[in-house]
Homo-oligomer: A and B are copies of this chain.
Amino acid sequence: MVVSLRLEATCHHTGARAGELVTPHGTIPTPAFAPVASIGVVKTLSPKELKGVGVGVLLANAYHLMLRPGLEVISALGGLHRFMAWDGPVVTDSGGYQVFSLARLVRVGEEGVLFRSHIDGSQQSLSPEAAVALQEGLGADIMMVLDQPTPYGAGRDAVATAAQRTGRWAERCLGARQGRGELWAIVQGGTFTDLRRESASHMASLGFPGYAIGGLSLGESREVMWGMVEASVAPLPPASPRYLMGVGSPEELVEAVARGVDLLDSALPTRIARNGSLFTRRGRINITNSRFQGRESPVEDGCPCYLCRTYSAAYLSHLFRTGETLGLRLATLHNLTFLQRLMAEMRMVIQDGGFSRFREGFLAGYRPTDEAVRLARRRRAGKGE
Protein backbone atom coordinates (compact mmCIF):
# COMPACT_ATOMS: atom_id res chain seq x y z
CA MET A 1 0.00 0.00 0.00
CA VAL A 2 1.43 3.39 -0.94
CA VAL A 3 -0.99 5.25 1.32
CA SER A 4 -1.44 4.09 4.89
CA LEU A 5 -2.63 5.34 8.22
CA ARG A 6 -0.42 5.07 11.31
CA LEU A 7 -2.67 5.38 14.32
CA GLU A 8 -0.96 6.98 17.30
CA ALA A 9 -3.68 7.61 19.86
CA THR A 10 -7.40 7.11 20.36
CA CYS A 11 -9.76 8.87 22.75
CA HIS A 12 -11.19 6.68 25.53
CA HIS A 13 -14.54 8.48 25.62
CA THR A 14 -15.25 9.09 21.93
CA GLY A 15 -14.13 7.59 18.65
CA ALA A 16 -11.55 10.33 18.07
CA ARG A 17 -8.14 9.24 16.85
CA ALA A 18 -4.85 10.84 15.96
CA GLY A 19 -2.21 9.54 13.60
CA GLU A 20 -0.35 10.10 10.39
CA LEU A 21 -1.37 9.49 6.81
CA VAL A 22 1.64 8.32 4.81
CA THR A 23 1.47 9.11 1.08
CA PRO A 24 3.90 9.20 -1.86
CA HIS A 25 3.92 13.00 -1.50
CA GLY A 26 4.65 13.15 2.19
CA THR A 27 3.19 12.28 5.55
CA ILE A 28 0.46 14.42 7.05
CA PRO A 29 -0.84 14.53 10.61
CA THR A 30 -4.43 13.35 11.15
CA PRO A 31 -7.18 14.27 11.76
CA ALA A 32 -6.69 16.45 8.69
CA PHE A 33 -8.75 18.94 6.75
CA ALA A 34 -8.28 19.19 2.97
CA PRO A 35 -9.18 22.52 1.33
CA VAL A 36 -10.84 22.19 -2.07
CA ALA A 37 -8.79 22.92 -5.18
CA SER A 38 -11.58 21.96 -7.58
CA ILE A 39 -9.93 23.06 -10.75
CA GLY A 40 -6.29 22.96 -9.67
CA VAL A 41 -6.26 25.97 -7.36
CA VAL A 42 -7.56 26.70 -3.88
CA LYS A 43 -9.42 29.83 -4.88
CA THR A 44 -7.31 33.00 -4.31
CA LEU A 45 -4.30 31.18 -2.78
CA SER A 46 -0.84 30.06 -3.90
CA PRO A 47 0.78 26.78 -2.77
CA LYS A 48 3.28 28.83 -0.76
CA GLU A 49 0.42 30.37 1.21
CA LEU A 50 -1.27 27.00 1.74
CA LYS A 51 1.95 25.58 3.16
CA GLY A 52 2.32 28.73 5.23
CA VAL A 53 -0.95 28.16 7.04
CA GLY A 54 -0.22 24.48 7.57
CA VAL A 55 -2.33 22.86 4.87
CA GLY A 56 -1.01 19.36 4.19
CA VAL A 57 -3.41 17.84 1.67
CA LEU A 58 -5.70 19.13 -1.08
CA LEU A 59 -8.83 17.80 -2.75
CA ALA A 60 -9.05 18.31 -6.50
CA ASN A 61 -11.98 17.44 -8.73
CA ALA A 62 -11.60 15.03 -11.60
CA TYR A 63 -14.87 16.31 -13.12
CA HIS A 64 -13.72 19.95 -13.24
CA LEU A 65 -10.26 19.05 -14.48
CA MET A 66 -11.47 16.73 -17.25
CA LEU A 67 -13.52 19.63 -18.62
CA ARG A 68 -10.87 22.32 -18.13
CA PRO A 69 -8.02 22.14 -19.03
CA GLY A 70 -8.52 18.43 -19.85
CA LEU A 71 -6.47 15.37 -18.95
CA GLU A 72 -4.26 15.65 -22.05
CA VAL A 73 -2.96 19.09 -21.06
CA ILE A 74 -2.25 18.08 -17.46
CA SER A 75 -0.63 14.78 -18.47
CA ALA A 76 1.59 16.49 -21.03
CA LEU A 77 2.74 18.92 -18.35
CA GLY A 78 3.74 16.13 -15.97
CA GLY A 79 0.58 15.60 -13.92
CA LEU A 80 -1.54 17.58 -11.53
CA HIS A 81 1.07 18.12 -8.82
CA ARG A 82 3.47 19.76 -11.20
CA PHE A 83 0.69 21.64 -13.05
CA MET A 84 -0.53 23.32 -9.88
CA ALA A 85 2.90 23.43 -8.20
CA TRP A 86 1.69 21.51 -5.16
CA ASP A 87 4.15 18.93 -3.86
CA GLY A 88 1.98 17.59 -1.02
CA PRO A 89 -0.59 14.80 -1.29
CA VAL A 90 -3.65 15.23 -3.51
CA VAL A 91 -6.97 13.44 -3.18
CA THR A 92 -9.17 13.51 -6.28
CA ASP A 93 -12.87 13.12 -6.22
CA SER A 94 -14.05 10.78 -8.97
CA GLY A 95 -16.53 13.22 -10.41
CA GLY A 96 -19.60 11.30 -9.25
CA TYR A 97 -20.87 14.05 -6.99
CA GLN A 98 -20.18 16.82 -9.51
CA VAL A 99 -21.84 14.99 -12.38
CA PHE A 100 -25.02 14.57 -10.38
CA SER A 101 -24.99 18.11 -8.91
CA LEU A 102 -23.54 20.28 -11.70
CA ALA A 103 -23.80 18.59 -15.08
CA ARG A 104 -26.88 18.69 -17.30
CA LEU A 105 -28.97 15.99 -18.99
CA VAL A 106 -27.47 13.29 -16.82
CA ARG A 107 -28.32 9.71 -17.91
CA VAL A 108 -27.13 7.01 -15.63
CA GLY A 109 -27.03 3.30 -16.50
CA GLU A 110 -25.17 0.26 -15.25
CA GLU A 111 -22.27 0.99 -17.58
CA GLY A 112 -21.73 4.51 -16.31
CA VAL A 113 -23.06 7.99 -16.76
CA LEU A 114 -23.65 10.24 -19.78
CA PHE A 115 -23.95 13.98 -19.25
CA ARG A 116 -23.43 17.38 -20.75
CA SER A 117 -20.75 19.71 -19.41
CA HIS A 118 -22.07 22.58 -17.28
CA ILE A 119 -19.46 24.80 -18.98
CA ASP A 120 -20.15 24.36 -22.69
CA GLY A 121 -22.84 21.71 -22.97
CA SER A 122 -20.45 19.23 -24.62
CA GLN A 123 -21.35 15.53 -24.42
CA GLN A 124 -19.24 13.71 -21.82
CA SER A 125 -19.22 10.36 -20.10
CA LEU A 126 -17.75 8.62 -17.08
CA SER A 127 -17.62 4.96 -16.24
CA PRO A 128 -15.97 3.38 -13.20
CA GLU A 129 -13.03 2.41 -15.41
CA ALA A 130 -12.78 5.85 -17.02
CA ALA A 131 -12.95 7.56 -13.63
CA VAL A 132 -10.00 5.52 -12.41
CA ALA A 133 -8.01 6.10 -15.60
CA LEU A 134 -8.70 9.83 -15.35
CA GLN A 135 -7.55 10.05 -11.74
CA GLU A 136 -4.49 7.91 -12.45
CA GLY A 137 -3.69 10.20 -15.37
CA LEU A 138 -3.89 13.21 -13.07
CA GLY A 139 -1.46 11.47 -10.72
CA ALA A 140 -3.61 11.55 -7.58
CA ASP A 141 -2.22 10.06 -4.38
CA ILE A 142 -5.70 9.05 -3.28
CA MET A 143 -8.44 8.39 -5.85
CA MET A 144 -12.11 7.87 -5.19
CA VAL A 145 -14.40 5.27 -6.76
CA LEU A 146 -17.11 6.53 -9.09
CA ASP A 147 -20.24 6.80 -6.97
CA GLN A 148 -23.88 7.66 -7.49
CA PRO A 149 -25.01 9.99 -4.73
CA THR A 150 -28.69 10.74 -4.30
CA PRO A 151 -30.13 14.18 -3.60
CA TYR A 152 -31.54 15.15 -0.22
CA GLY A 153 -35.06 13.82 0.12
CA ALA A 154 -34.69 10.91 -2.33
CA GLY A 155 -36.91 7.95 -1.47
CA ARG A 156 -35.67 4.67 -0.03
CA ASP A 157 -35.87 2.71 -3.29
CA ALA A 158 -33.91 5.26 -5.27
CA VAL A 159 -31.29 5.47 -2.55
CA ALA A 160 -30.97 1.71 -2.24
CA THR A 161 -30.60 1.30 -6.02
CA ALA A 162 -27.94 3.99 -6.20
CA ALA A 163 -26.02 2.65 -3.21
CA GLN A 164 -26.02 -0.87 -4.64
CA ARG A 165 -24.85 0.43 -8.01
CA THR A 166 -22.11 2.36 -6.22
CA GLY A 167 -21.09 -0.98 -4.71
CA ARG A 168 -20.88 -2.68 -8.12
CA TRP A 169 -19.03 0.30 -9.59
CA ALA A 170 -16.57 0.15 -6.69
CA GLU A 171 -15.69 -3.43 -7.62
CA ARG A 172 -15.13 -2.40 -11.24
CA CYS A 173 -12.97 0.53 -10.11
CA LEU A 174 -10.80 -1.86 -8.09
CA GLY A 175 -10.41 -4.05 -11.15
CA ALA A 176 -9.49 -1.11 -13.36
CA ARG A 177 -6.71 0.16 -11.14
CA GLN A 178 -3.29 0.14 -12.79
CA GLY A 179 -1.29 0.61 -9.63
CA ARG A 180 -0.61 4.33 -9.51
CA GLY A 181 -2.20 5.97 -6.49
CA GLU A 182 -4.46 4.39 -3.92
CA LEU A 183 -8.19 3.86 -4.48
CA TRP A 184 -10.67 4.51 -1.68
CA ALA A 185 -14.32 3.45 -1.46
CA ILE A 186 -17.32 5.73 -0.92
CA VAL A 187 -20.11 4.68 1.41
CA GLN A 188 -23.57 5.84 0.27
CA GLY A 189 -27.07 5.08 1.56
CA GLY A 190 -28.66 8.52 2.01
CA THR A 191 -30.34 9.03 5.36
CA PHE A 192 -31.29 5.35 5.85
CA THR A 193 -29.36 3.73 8.67
CA ASP A 194 -29.67 0.18 7.33
CA LEU A 195 -28.66 1.20 3.81
CA ARG A 196 -25.61 3.00 5.23
CA ARG A 197 -24.63 -0.12 7.16
CA GLU A 198 -25.15 -2.31 4.13
CA SER A 199 -23.11 -0.05 1.88
CA ALA A 200 -20.28 0.21 4.40
CA SER A 201 -20.24 -3.56 4.99
CA HIS A 202 -20.11 -4.26 1.28
CA MET A 203 -17.26 -1.78 0.76
CA ALA A 204 -15.39 -3.23 3.73
CA SER A 205 -15.76 -6.73 2.28
CA LEU A 206 -13.96 -5.55 -0.87
CA GLY A 207 -10.88 -4.68 1.19
CA PHE A 208 -10.24 -1.09 0.19
CA PRO A 209 -7.26 0.67 1.80
CA GLY A 210 -9.45 3.62 2.79
CA TYR A 211 -13.14 4.56 3.05
CA ALA A 212 -15.03 7.75 2.40
CA ILE A 213 -18.51 8.63 3.60
CA GLY A 214 -20.38 10.46 0.85
CA GLY A 215 -23.80 11.93 0.25
CA LEU A 216 -24.13 13.80 3.54
CA SER A 217 -24.52 17.45 4.55
CA LEU A 218 -26.94 17.91 1.67
CA GLY A 219 -29.90 19.24 3.64
CA GLU A 220 -30.55 16.68 6.37
CA SER A 221 -30.47 17.87 10.00
CA ARG A 222 -27.21 17.57 11.89
CA GLU A 223 -28.72 14.94 14.16
CA VAL A 224 -29.57 12.79 11.16
CA MET A 225 -26.15 13.44 9.62
CA TRP A 226 -24.25 12.26 12.69
CA GLY A 227 -26.43 9.19 12.89
CA MET A 228 -25.51 8.38 9.30
CA VAL A 229 -21.80 8.95 9.97
CA GLU A 230 -21.98 6.54 12.89
CA ALA A 231 -23.86 3.93 10.86
CA SER A 232 -21.28 4.30 8.05
CA VAL A 233 -18.23 4.08 10.30
CA ALA A 234 -19.31 1.09 12.40
CA PRO A 235 -18.79 -1.67 9.78
CA LEU A 236 -15.43 -0.28 8.55
CA PRO A 237 -12.12 -1.88 9.56
CA PRO A 238 -10.77 0.20 12.46
CA ALA A 239 -7.24 0.40 11.10
CA SER A 240 -8.27 1.99 7.81
CA PRO A 241 -8.51 5.74 7.19
CA ARG A 242 -12.02 7.28 7.15
CA TYR A 243 -12.81 10.33 5.11
CA LEU A 244 -16.01 12.38 5.51
CA MET A 245 -16.64 14.19 2.22
CA GLY A 246 -17.99 17.72 1.90
CA VAL A 247 -18.19 18.60 5.58
CA GLY A 248 -16.14 21.50 6.91
CA SER A 249 -17.60 23.99 9.38
CA PRO A 250 -15.64 24.20 12.64
CA GLU A 251 -18.28 22.55 14.83
CA GLU A 252 -18.73 19.79 12.23
CA LEU A 253 -14.99 19.10 12.21
CA VAL A 254 -15.07 18.59 15.97
CA GLU A 255 -18.13 16.32 15.83
CA ALA A 256 -16.76 14.30 12.92
CA VAL A 257 -13.45 13.73 14.66
CA ALA A 258 -15.36 12.63 17.76
CA ARG A 259 -16.87 9.89 15.56
CA GLY A 260 -13.55 8.55 14.35
CA VAL A 261 -13.16 10.49 11.11
CA ASP A 262 -9.53 11.03 10.02
CA LEU A 263 -9.93 13.27 6.97
CA LEU A 264 -12.48 15.83 5.77
CA ASP A 265 -12.78 18.22 2.86
CA SER A 266 -15.14 21.07 2.13
CA ALA A 267 -15.32 24.16 -0.04
CA LEU A 268 -17.34 25.90 2.68
CA PRO A 269 -14.48 27.63 4.56
CA THR A 270 -13.03 29.15 1.39
CA ARG A 271 -16.41 29.90 -0.20
CA ILE A 272 -17.85 31.73 2.79
CA ALA A 273 -14.56 33.63 3.16
CA ARG A 274 -15.16 35.12 -0.28
CA ASN A 275 -18.56 36.27 0.99
CA GLY A 276 -16.90 38.02 3.91
CA SER A 277 -17.72 35.36 6.50
CA LEU A 278 -14.85 34.64 8.90
CA PHE A 279 -14.44 32.06 11.66
CA THR A 280 -13.68 33.19 15.18
CA ARG A 281 -13.61 31.19 18.41
CA ARG A 282 -17.06 32.57 19.21
CA GLY A 283 -18.63 31.83 15.85
CA ARG A 284 -18.77 33.35 12.39
CA ILE A 285 -18.69 37.08 11.80
CA ASN A 286 -19.38 38.88 8.53
CA ILE A 287 -16.89 41.60 7.77
CA THR A 288 -19.35 43.52 5.60
CA ASN A 289 -21.38 44.29 8.73
CA SER A 290 -21.19 48.04 9.42
CA ARG A 291 -19.84 47.51 12.93
CA PHE A 292 -16.44 46.62 11.44
CA GLN A 293 -16.04 49.79 9.35
CA GLY A 294 -13.97 51.63 11.92
CA ARG A 295 -12.70 48.75 14.05
CA GLU A 296 -9.02 49.09 14.87
CA SER A 297 -8.53 45.59 16.33
CA PRO A 298 -7.88 42.59 14.06
CA VAL A 299 -10.66 40.21 13.06
CA GLU A 300 -9.53 37.95 15.91
CA ASP A 301 -7.07 38.95 18.60
CA GLY A 302 -4.26 36.44 18.90
CA CYS A 303 -4.89 34.82 15.51
CA PRO A 304 -1.50 34.22 13.84
CA CYS A 305 -2.75 34.56 10.24
CA TYR A 306 -1.35 37.22 7.91
CA LEU A 307 -4.64 39.16 7.99
CA CYS A 308 -4.86 39.38 11.77
CA ARG A 309 -1.15 40.05 12.25
CA THR A 310 -1.13 42.83 9.65
CA TYR A 311 -4.46 44.61 9.41
CA SER A 312 -7.34 46.10 11.36
CA ALA A 313 -10.81 44.66 10.82
CA ALA A 314 -11.59 48.11 9.34
CA TYR A 315 -9.11 47.54 6.50
CA LEU A 316 -10.64 44.18 5.57
CA SER A 317 -14.07 45.79 5.72
CA HIS A 318 -12.78 48.48 3.31
CA LEU A 319 -11.45 45.84 0.90
CA PHE A 320 -14.80 44.04 0.82
CA ARG A 321 -16.77 47.26 0.45
CA THR A 322 -14.62 48.33 -2.49
CA GLY A 323 -14.60 44.90 -4.12
CA GLU A 324 -10.82 44.45 -3.87
CA THR A 325 -9.75 40.84 -4.48
CA LEU A 326 -7.00 41.09 -1.85
CA GLY A 327 -9.87 40.94 0.66
CA LEU A 328 -11.01 37.55 -0.66
CA ARG A 329 -7.51 36.20 -0.22
CA LEU A 330 -6.97 37.56 3.28
CA ALA A 331 -10.33 36.17 4.43
CA THR A 332 -9.55 32.78 2.88
CA LEU A 333 -6.15 32.69 4.59
CA HIS A 334 -7.84 33.49 7.89
CA ASN A 335 -10.46 30.74 7.62
CA LEU A 336 -7.94 28.10 6.60
CA THR A 337 -5.61 29.17 9.41
CA PHE A 338 -8.52 28.80 11.82
CA LEU A 339 -9.29 25.26 10.64
CA GLN A 340 -5.65 24.15 10.54
CA ARG A 341 -5.18 25.34 14.11
CA LEU A 342 -8.38 23.58 15.13
CA MET A 343 -7.20 20.29 13.58
CA ALA A 344 -3.76 20.62 15.18
CA GLU A 345 -5.33 21.33 18.55
CA MET A 346 -7.63 18.33 18.27
CA ARG A 347 -4.70 16.11 17.38
CA MET A 348 -2.83 17.32 20.44
CA VAL A 349 -5.70 16.82 22.87
CA ILE A 350 -6.45 13.36 21.48
CA GLN A 351 -2.85 12.43 22.26
CA ASP A 352 -3.08 14.06 25.69
CA GLY A 353 -6.33 12.35 26.56
CA GLY A 354 -8.18 15.66 26.76
CA PHE A 355 -10.33 15.50 23.64
CA SER A 356 -13.73 15.23 25.36
CA ARG A 357 -13.04 18.27 27.47
CA PHE A 358 -11.76 20.21 24.50
CA ARG A 359 -14.84 19.30 22.48
CA GLU A 360 -17.15 20.49 25.25
CA GLY A 361 -15.25 23.73 25.69
CA PHE A 362 -15.07 24.46 21.99
CA LEU A 363 -18.75 23.81 21.36
CA ALA A 364 -19.77 25.85 24.41
CA GLY A 365 -17.87 28.87 23.08
CA TYR A 366 -18.60 28.53 19.37
CA ARG A 367 -22.01 29.74 18.24
CA PRO A 368 -22.79 27.85 15.03
CA THR A 369 -24.88 29.32 12.27
CA ASP A 370 -28.53 28.91 13.12
CA GLU A 371 -29.66 25.39 12.14
CA ALA A 372 -32.76 26.48 10.22
CA VAL A 373 -30.84 29.13 8.27
CA ARG A 374 -28.09 26.64 7.53
CA LEU A 375 -30.45 23.97 6.24
CA ALA A 376 -32.38 26.40 4.09
CA ARG A 377 -29.11 27.60 2.53
CA ARG A 378 -27.85 24.11 1.84
CA ARG A 379 -31.09 22.93 0.30
CA ARG A 380 -31.25 26.02 -1.88
CA ALA A 381 -27.66 26.30 -2.98
CA GLY A 382 -26.21 22.83 -3.23
CA LYS A 383 -22.58 22.75 -2.33
CA GLY A 384 -20.63 22.19 -5.54
CA GLU A 385 -17.67 24.52 -5.89
Contact = CB atoms under 8 A, between A and B. Distances in A.
A326 B270 CA distance: 14
A239 interface: no
B326 A83 contact: no
A315 interface: yes
A326 B85 contact: no
Contacts of A319: 41
B85 A315 contact: yes
Interface in A310-338: 310-312, 314-315, 317-319, 321-322, 324-326, 328-330
A48 B46 CA distance: 14
Interface in A62-86: 68-69, 73, 76-77, 83-85
10 contacts: A40-B315, A41-B326, A43-B324, A43-B326, A47-B310, A48-B306, A69-B293, A73-B314, A77-B312, A325-B329
A334 to B, nearest CB: 13
Nearest to A295: B77
Interface string A33-50: 000000111011111100
A73 B306 contact: no
Nearest to A296: B77
A51 to B, nearest CB: 12
B296 A76 contact: yes
A3 to B, nearest CB: 26
A68 B324 CA distance: 12
B77 A46 contact: no
A294 interface: yes
Contacts of A326: 41, 43-46
A310 B77 contact: no
A314 B328 CA distance: 24
B83 A43 contact: no
Given A46-B310, A76-B296, 13 more contacts: A39-B322, A40-B315, A40-B318, A43-B325, A44-B325, A68-B321, A68-B322, A69-B314, A73-B293, A73-B314, A76-B294, A77-B315, A329-B329
B322 A325 contact: no
A318 B68 contact: yes
The residue in A294, A315, A317, A328 that gathers the most chain B C-beta atoms within 10 A of its C-beta is A315
A321 B39 CA distance: 11
Nearest to A319: B41
A306 B48 CA distance: 10
A13 B317 CA distance: 51
Contacts of A315: 40, 77, 83-85
A44 B39 CA distance: 20
A314 B77 contact: yes
Interface string A78-100: 00000111000000000000000
A310 B47 CA distance: 10
A68 to B, nearest CB: 6
Contacts of A39: 318, 322, 324
The residue in A46, A76, A314 that gathers the most chain B C-beta atoms within 10 A of its C-beta is A46
A384 to B, nearest CB: 15
B83 A321 contact: no
Contacts of A293: 69, 73
Contacts of A329: 46, 325, 329
A173 to B, nearest CB: 27
B69 A321 contact: yes
Nearest to A38: B322
The residue in A41, A45, A293, A306 that gathers the most chain B C-beta atoms within 10 A of its C-beta is A41
Contacts of A294: 73, 76-77
Contacts of A310: 46-47, 85
